[in-house]
Amino acid sequence: MEQNHGLLIVLSGPSGAGKGTLCQELLRQMPQVKYSVSATTRQPRPGEVDGLHYFFRSREEFQAMIEQDQLLEWAEFCGNFYGTPKFAVEQAIHAGNDVILEIEIQGALQVKKRFSQGVFIFVVPPSMDELAQRIHKRGTESEEIIQKRLKTAARELEYVSEYDYVVINDEIPIAVDKLKSILVAEKCRVKRKPYVFQGV
Ligand code: 5GP
């Protein structure tokens, strides 16, 4: 059995569930895990850096990436496009690194079709009230966008059954420990076989 391919980890969950925070903490504690930087047509938030948080692209540039088959998956979310550049993910996995994709559900379902051996984790907030509070507290979106994101979140929760694991993000250190345990357990799976990229 070939063991030298890394894990492809997909982390989804409603906006405000705390995926970003969990992801950062996981990367800090497990430096062998690489973060897949997505492309997006969304405007940068204060403090967001091109190439680090996202590749900020125009709609035309994003369209060109789709046409040139540069994206592993892509989706429209609340009026903007988001997608995972294929090249970096493939390179990291083949080099034996684990890669984490922090992406929404439509994209995660596309990845699931291509990588049946991926590890699909859904992060949920302790409650919808808590979710609303967190998004308001973040203070980075207008009320209109917040309402849109909350509606989307309610719909997204219905997809939890498509995932392998669910982690309730009540307390960050506990949720991070759960994520780490999932990765450790996944690496011990007897049946873990090399990833097969379709069309690559
Ligand atoms: P935000 O605008 O809050 O950074 O992200 C909005 C949503 O898009 C989040 O659920 C985030 O996980 C998701 N997202 C970020 N990058 C990607 C991507 O490359 N592909 C897909 N499908 N979703 C993404």
Torsion over CA: 31, 139, 169, 107 (sign): negative
Q: What is the pLDDT of residues 79-113, one digit of tens each?
A: 999 999 999 999 999 999 999 999 999 999 999 99
Q: How far is the CA of 17 from the centre of ligand 1 (A)?
A: 12
Ligand 1 within 6 A of 73 CB?
yes
Class of domain 8-192: alpha beta
How far does the centroid of ligand 1 lie from the alpha carbon of residue 82, in Å?
6
**pLDDT beyond 50 at 129:** yes
Largest CA distance in the chain: 52
Q: Whose CA is nearest to atom 21 of ligand 1?
A: 103
pLDDT digits (tens, 9 = 90+) for 164-181: 999 999 999 999 999 999
How much is the pTM?
Answer: 0.89
The answer to whether the CB of 82 is under 6 A from ligand 1 is: yes
For residue 2, pLDDT beyond 60: no
